[in-house]
Amino acid sequence: MPKVKVPRKTTNVDMTAMCDVAFLLLTFFMLTSNFVAKEPIVVAVPSSISEIKIEERDILTVLIDKEGKVFVGLDAQNDRREVLDKVGKAYQLSFSEKELKEFSKIGMMGVPIGKMNAFLALKQEERDSKEAALGIPTDSISREFETWIKSAKIVNPKLRLAIKADSNTPYKVIKDVMTTLVKIKENRYNLITSLEKDPNK
Amino acid sequence: MAEMQEKEGKKGKKQKQKKHPTRVDLTPMVDLGFLLITFFMLTTSMLKPQTMEISVPSKDKVAEDEQNKVKASQAMTILLGKENKLYYFFGNGENGQPPVLIDTDYSSEGIRKVLMTKNIDVMKLVEQLKKDKADKKVSEADYKQRLSDYRGSKNAPVVMIKATDDSNYKNLVDILDEMQICNISRYAIVDITPDDLALIDKKTIAAK
């Protein structure tokens, strides 16, 4: 019995079109993207029906985790070193050029100012665990949190405050932060939430 | 290029040029392209996070003043307790007798219903306005203007939100959310007083 001849098709497909598509998409993603800011702690924000979007620039994020540790993040890299310099001066600490440079690479900062020197001397990989263990003191004696916000405001007066806190954060911590903000006349700020369906719609 | 090479070949130059195929295998390039796409897709945040805007009265005396000015029929106080419990009472508790605390929860049947009944006049107006807007009877600017007018009307309830230290952040956001759902624009986050705490204590003991 003669074998049925299967016509041999070439397996070589023209990849040009696919390549075009891939790079088109790549270009799109590269142009539209802004990177996810690295956060030292994982925060599950509560949901709300509010649909106001946060502004893209000039945001000072106050990150609060469920144990009440407070972190501060600035989006503008250029401002960061200036802020650290100002905060350092307030506590009679000075930072070297190298340390300032290192600091400007950190998106979310939560280290007591006294330990900042030691923290900046660490390698990047070591920082993550250390950073997660600390947080900026919010007490009214050292007033570190207050100083951070104030300094950031001086460096960039257009800065808007956004509070990003975990759902299970005790209200006591939030209250401390809020009272501090009221004290330095920061009466308007945003609470970052995730979207929930509006029952009226 | 290819044509030129062919022409040269026809001219009779015996030099045998190797014919390079003009087709390059693009598969690795595609691989690379998609790899980069994946990377960018995973590292980017396309969505801007949602926010609620709140403004807190400055510490001085505003809250105190407003609390006193409000008519007893409009005033309402919400106390956020522990374990997602919620208490509320009407009036400003100034008539000598202590206010009656009622407990409820954060569900749509709980505090939302209370707030909606309290704010029924404004709710009706806003609903009508929304309907008009859907029918394109009012313009966008007009809509916003009237919405804030309705919400800020003199007879709308005024809510004091007092959170105990045992409540959590979600409770606060939830209650602020309810304010928005129920079209209440006159509310304030106020520090809790020992009197309020005593009221909650009494309520929890009575419940047992």
Residue B90 domain flag = yes
**Would you give the DSSP letter of residue B187?**
E
CB-CB: which of B29, B43, B51 is closest to A191?
B51
Output the six-digit token pair for A125. 């990989």
The yes-or-no verdict on residue B11 having pLDDT over 60 is no
β-strands A188-195, A47-48 pairing: parallel
Residue holding tokens 């009197």? B195
* Chain B residue with the nearest C-alpha to that of A50: B52
Position B9 confidence tier, pLDDT thresholds 50, 70, 90: very low
Position B46 confidence tier, pLDDT thresholds 50, 70, 90: low
User: What pLDDT is stored for residue B8 in this prediction?
Assistant: 47
Q: Structural domain of residue A151, as residue ranges?
A: 47-195
Burial of A174 (0-12, 13-18, 19+ CB in 10 A): buried
Give A104 or B31, the one with higher predicted confidence: B31
**Would you give the DSSP letter of residue A37?**
P
Ordered alpha helix ranges (H), B70-154: 111-118, 120-134, 140-151
The yes-or-no verdict on residue A17 having pLDDT over 80 is yes
Residue B84 domain flag = yes
Q: What distance lies between CA B128 and its chain's CA centroid?
A: 23
Say if the Cβ atoms of A54 and B167 lie within 8 Å: no
| CA dist., res. B78 & res. B175, Å (int) | 9
Position A16 confidence tier, pLDDT thresholds 50, 70, 90: confident
Distance (Å) from the C-alpha of residue A164 to the closest C-alpha of chain B? 9
User: What pLDDT is stored for residue A181 in this prediction?
Assistant: 83
Q: Averaging pLDDT over each range in A98-102, B8-12, B171-175, which range is the top one?
A: B171-175
User: What pLDDT is stored for residue B89 in this prediction?
Assistant: 81
For B95-116, how does the pLDDT look when each residue is reduced to its tens digit (9 = 90+)?
Answer: 556 677 787 877 777 788 888 8
Residue B15 domain flag = no
The yes-or-no verdict on residue B138 having pLDDT over 70 is yes
CA atoms within 13 A on the CB side of A74: 24
Mutation to test the B interface, candidates A51, A184, A200, A201, most B Cβ within 10 Å: A200
Output the six-digit token pair for A156. 């960039």
Average pLDDT over residues B129-135: 80
Q: Could you tell me what percent of chain A has a pLDDT over 70?
A: 92
For A68: left if phi > 0, alpha if psi spans -120 to 50, otherwise beta; the answer is: left
Q: Averaging pLDDT over each range in A32-36, B134-138, B176-180, which range is the top one?
A: B176-180
| CA dist., res. A131 & res. A119, Å (int) | 8
CB-CB: which of A15, A47, A200 is closest to B27?
A15
Asked if residue B138 lies in contact with residue A135, where contact means CB atoms within 8 angstroms, the answer is: no
Residue B108 domain flag = yes
User: C-alpha angle with apex A40: A30 to A113, nearest 5 degrees?
Assistant: 120
Going by C-alpha positions, the residue among A165, A164, A162 that lies closest to residue A189 is: A162
Total structural domains within chain A: 1
Average pLDDT over residues A44-69: 80
Residue B59 domain flag = no
Going by C-alpha positions, the residue among B125, B93, B63 that lies closest to residue B195 is: B93
Mutation to test the B interface, candidates A54, A174, A181, most B Cβ within 10 Å: A174
Distance (Å) from the C-alpha of residue A4 to the closest C-alpha of chain B? 32
Residue A12 domain flag = no
Give A66 or A11, the one with higher predicted confidence: A66
| CA dist., res. A22 & res. B37, Å (int) | 7
Distances from the Cα of B184 to the Cα of A34, B2, B21, angstroms: 36, 76, 74
Residue A129 domain flag = yes
Residue A75 domain flag = yes
Say if the Cβ atoms of A191 and B165 lie within 8 Å: no
Position B35 confidence tier, pLDDT thresholds 50, 70, 90: very high
β-strands A70-74, A108-109 pairing: antiparallel
Q: How many CB atoms lie within 10 A of CB B47?
A: 9
Total structural domains within chain B: 1
| CA dist., res. A26 & res. A23, Å (int) | 5
Mean pLDDT (chain B, rounded): 75
CB-CB: which of A19, A51, A187 is closest to B50?
A51
Say if the Cβ atoms of B164 and A171 lie within 8 Å: yes
Residue A7 domain flag = no
User: What pLDDT is stored for residue A176 in this prediction?
Assistant: 83
* Chain A residue with the nearest C-alpha to that of B192: A175
Residue holding tokens 């074998």? A3
Residue holding tokens 């290819």? B2
Asked if residue A177 lies in contact with residue A163, where contact means CB atoms within 8 angstroms, the answer is: yes
* Chain B residue with the nearest C-alpha to that of A44: B170
What is the CATH classification number for the domain harbouring B171? 3.30.420
The yes-or-no verdict on residue B62 having pLDDT over 60 is no
Chain A residues whose CB is inside 8 A of the B130 CB are 200
| CA dist., res. B41 & res. A6, Å (int) | 42
Residue A23 domain flag = no
Residue A118 domain flag = yes
Average pLDDT over residues A25-48: 78
| CA dist., res. A48 & res. B51, Å (int) | 8
For A118-141, how does the pLDDT look when each residue is reduced to its tens digit (9 = 90+)?
Answer: 777 777 777 766 655 677 777 777
Q: Structural domain of residue B199, as residue ranges?
A: 75-119+157-207
Average pLDDT over residues A157-171: 84
Give B7 or B49, the one with higher predicted confidence: B49
β-strands A108-109, A160-165 pairing: unpaired
Burial of B109 (0-12, 13-18, 19+ CB in 10 A): exposed
Amino acid letter at A44?
A
pTM: 0.73
Say if the Cβ atoms of A178 and B176 lie within 8 Å: no
Residue A60 domain flag = yes
Average pLDDT over residues B35-60: 76
How many residues make up chain A in this entry? 201
Q: Is B152 helix (H, G, I), strand (E, B) or coil?
A: coil
